[in-house]
Structure 1
Amino acid sequence: MDSKQYKSPLHEMAETMSNDFWNDSCAIDELTYALEYGAVGATTNPVIVGNVLKQDKARYDERIKEMVVTMPEATEDDIAWKLNEEMAQAGAKMLMPIFEASNGQKGRISIQTNTKYYRNWKLLLEQTMHFSTLAPNIQVKMPVTKAGVKAVEEATYQGVSINATVSFTVPQALAIGAAVERGLKRREAEGKDTSQMHPVCTIMVGRIDDWLKEVVKRDGIEVNPEYLDWAGVAVMKNAYRIYNERGYRTQLLAAAYRNDYQWTEFMGSDLAMTIPHKWIKKFNESDVKVEPRMQIPVDPQIIETLAAKIPDFIKAYEAEGMTEEDFDSFGAVNTTLKQFLEGYDDLVRMIREYMVIIR
């Protein structure tokens, strides 16, 4: 069906509401499809880049072989990062018209820093500054660890639009909102321009659901399983409320989709959503009614039950549930860092195969 004639729910949301949506991948074909339905951004991370290479090997095969030959002293890590950068630059080029038309407020692609740096703010900042030179509409992703919060403030001060990731909780989102404000104010105090900057803080709503389900299973906690599908939604709605109260200039971004609530419940806000291709298609084919729902609170009984039975929900939901010192030991943070590290290792192994063959 011609997307220009048929208005899917996602397309209708993009046209009639203030929500933004991104393609949660840098795959060229997927981004092309998403742009037809109103996407205004895209994102990458080590897992995404590896999956793109696996799914579209023919597109990158000759280029990787060329890099191996023309970069004779490069390590497999050097070539892996070069591939990351080139995928991000290709996406940035596709999004550039949106970036230019919106004065930098839309049309960006995120590229993720090396997960191995999650404890070292200086290394995160150094790589961030390099990535910021790749294209005008690059947005740099850093984890919301203790070191990541400091790196976010410094990168913002340097004029980089950040996307805070490995983030699942209200305390993490608030730490980033405050860090960005400090960076912006320091920059503005020196008369430096911030008009084209567009900081974003991700909350991986599906991954907090995943973690709480693991906790329930691990600890033998009895709870209505449907309640667990609302945890991430509750966290996001609470963070969004506090962001508006405090006037943070960072845009919240919902990621890691697991159920339909994680987009329908956010309609009617200036929240962004980074949506994987399979979920974009699922939403396009649904008959969901497009209507504002962000201001409708999650059933208080769900929140009260989760808070009474699962201590980690309190850590995630309450503004004072954790301090920055606690971020690095939170279960969802550890689980996601591990997956990103393993995803990067998989990518390096794929590059290694090219290097061994050519030698």
Structure 2
Amino acid sequence: MTDLLPGPALDRLVSDDLPTRLWNDSADPDELRRSIALGAVGATCNPVIALAVVRRHLGRWSERIREIASEDASATDADIAWQVVEELSIEGAGQLEPAFEASGGRDGRLSIQTDPRLHRDSAALVDQAVRFAGLAPNVIVKIPATAVGIAAMEEATFRGVSINATVSFTVAQAVAAAEAIERGLDRRAAEGLPEHEFGSVVTIMGGRLDDWLKHTTKRDRVLVDPGILEWAGVAALKKAYSIFQARAFRSRVLSAAFRNHFQWSELQGGDLVVSPPFDWQLRIAENRLPVVDRIDVPVDPAIVEELLRRVPDFARAYDEHGLSLDEFDSFGASVITLRQFLEAGAELEALVREVILEP
């Protein structure tokens, strides 16, 4: 199914006959414009993405950073960095507004991530989520699928915030996040609060799960059949999707952190979101990978069985009850990803400081 096809690149990466939606894993305005032309109806922003965008368009953002600093002498480097993240997100939200209106709010969403420094404070996460939700009508707020974050998701949903669960790698985290969103929605209904389309999504960072399992097998000197670790994230995503469908959760699964094209092609046909970086979209288009319904095609049972038998952290990631709520924070992929988000935030602050102090 993955043989290269002759002829020009695909014009679009979606099929009107399938419910699968494409989002762009960046808020870079130029990339997002081109991704929308390929069929994208959503995008995301976080400290890693914002840092990359500012570096790529340093001339524009250097001028804006100096303007912000001159407008408010009390603003810290962190304050200015997060204002850049917000402005970048608002710009992306504007580009997606037509898709938001056309879908009644289900699509056309711009995800903005809560400050990773708040990951231990549920109330602070909720307060920031509520504020971010007011930046534009189609903003969706990313909250980490940690023990603290799960509680924040419920409360933020109750307070009217659309959620994108992030820092999420396992079926257990995905189900816990979806259940938290359901509780928040049910609380709204019980209080007679207005109902609307939240468009909430629950991310599984499939490629980062693959990365972690490759690390653990190398660390533990475990040899498995070559290539099977490329299927781990896909297997977890398909398992989570089947649970979401069976329980009629009002949120959708989102596939992120691409490491191979299976994380796009094997999920086509599902009522879910695939969110590859723009370069992955180009590669998929250039190789003319077919957009065909494969969501109900299971991962080879022999691959799943070997992963379950030989890779303990895959078993924990694949089993709905493989991790307790308190274990979400200490799962290896969660620790690594939170560190990277924190480091990117610090790098963005440092870049702001360099721009302001530049002679």
**TM-score normalised per structure 2:** 0.96
Question: 2:285 maps to which residue?
Answer: 284
Question: 1:213 maps to which residue?
Answer: 214
Q: Give the match's secondary structure for 2:26.
A: coil
Cα drift, residue 97 of structure 1: 1.3
Cα drift, residue 14 of structure 1: 4.0
Kindly tell me: are residues 128 and 117 of structure 1, through their superposed partners in 2, closer, same or farther at Cα, counting changes over 3 Å? Answer: same
Question: 1:243 maps to which residue?
Answer: 244
Question: 1:165 maps to which residue?
Answer: 166
Structure 1 regions of 5+ residues with no counterpart? Answer: 1-5
Matched to 1:210, the amino acid is D
Matched to 2:352, the amino acid is I
Kindly tell me: are residues 73 and 141 of structure 1, through their superposed partners in 2, closer, same or farther at Cα, counting changes over 3 Å? Answer: same
Contact 1:14 1:37 in 2 (8 A): no
Contact 2:24 2:40 in 1 (8 A): yes
- Report whether the alignment pairs 1:116 with 2:117: yes
Question: 2:24 maps to which residue?
Answer: 23
Question: 1:59 maps to which residue?
Answer: 60
Please list, as runs of the form range in 1=range in 2, the aligned pairs for 1:185-196 lying within 5 A after superposition. 185-196=186-197
Question: 2:34 maps to which residue?
Answer: 33
Over the residues paired in the alignment, what is the CA RMSD in angstroms?
A: 1.3
Shifted more, 14-23 versus 30-39: the winner is 14-23
Contact 2:8 2:286 in 1 (8 A): no
Question: 1:3 maps to which residue?
Answer: none
Cα drift, residue 287 of structure 1: 2.5
Kindly tell me: are residues 167 and 7 of structure 1, through their superposed partners in 2, closer, same or farther at Cα, counting changes over 3 Å? Answer: farther
Question: 2:204 maps to which residue?
Answer: 203
Shifted more, 282-291 versus 74-83: the winner is 282-291
Cα drift, residue 264 of structure 1: 0.6
- Structure 2 distance, partners of 1:105, 1:244, is 17
Question: 1:42 maps to which residue?
Answer: 43
Kindly tell me: are residues 129 and 7 of structure 1, through their superposed partners in 2, closer, same or farther at Cα, counting changes over 3 Å? Answer: farther
Question: 1:106 maps to which residue?
Answer: 107
Describe the superposition over 1:238-288 as per-residue Cα deviations: whole angstroms up to 9, x where unpaired.
000011111111111000000111111001111101110110111110122
Contact 1:9 1:290 in 2 (8 A): no
Shifted more, 161-170 versus 347-356: the winner is 347-356
Contact 1:118 1:147 in 2 (8 A): yes
- Structure 1 distance, partners of 2:10, 2:167, is 28
Q: Give the match's secondary structure for 1:288.
A: coil
Describe the superposition over 1:35-87 as per-residue Cα deviations: whole angstroms up to 9, x where unpaired.
11110001011000000011111222211111111111110011001001000
Q: Give the match's secondary structure for 2:140.
A: strand
Percent sequence identity over aligned pairs = 46
Q: Give the match's secondary structure for 2:330.
A: coil
Cα drift, residue 27 of structure 1: 0.5
- Structure 2 distance, partners of 1:100, 1:259, is 32
Question: 2:343 maps to which residue?
Answer: 342
Matched to 1:334, the amino acid is V
**TM-score normalised per structure 1:** 0.96
- Structure 1 distance, partners of 2:75, 2:290, is 52
Shifted more, 82-91 versus 111-120: the winner is 111-120
Question: 1:327 maps to which residue?
Answer: 328
Cα drift, residue 225 of structure 1: 2.7
Describe the superposition over 1:201-236 as per-residue Cα deviations: whole angstroms up to 9, x where unpaired.
000000000000000011100111300000000000
Please list, as runs of the form range in 1=range in 2, the aligned pairs for 1:243-262 lying within 5 A after superposition. 243-262=244-263
Shifted more, 117-126 versus 147-156: the winner is 117-126
Q: How many residues align?
A: 353
- Structure 2 distance, partners of 1:125, 1:196, is 19
Matched to 2:65, the amino acid is I
- Structure 1 distance, partners of 2:282, 2:10, is 10
Q: Give the match's secondary structure for 2:40.
A: coil
Matched to 2:213, the amino acid is L
Matched to 1:238, the amino acid is K
Kindly tell me: are residues 309 and 152 of structure 1, through their superposed partners in 2, closer, same or farther at Cα, counting changes over 3 Å? Answer: same
Contact 1:255 1:274 in 2 (8 A): yes
Contact 1:24 1:274 in 2 (8 A): yes
Matched to 2:21, the amino acid is D
Q: Give the match's secondary structure for 1:21.
A: strand
Structure 2 regions of 5+ residues with no counterpart? Answer: 1-6
- Structure 2 distance, partners of 1:123, 1:108, is 23
- Structure 2 distance, partners of 1:39, 1:112, is 19
Cα drift, residue 31 of structure 1: 0.4
Contact 2:153 2:180 in 1 (8 A): yes
Shifted more, 110-119 versus 140-149: the winner is 110-119
- Structure 1 distance, partners of 2:92, 2:26, is 9
Matched to 1:195, the amino acid is H
Q: Give the match's secondary structure for 2:27.
A: coil
Contact 1:159 1:194 in 2 (8 A): no
Shifted more, 43-52 versus 194-203: the winner is 194-203
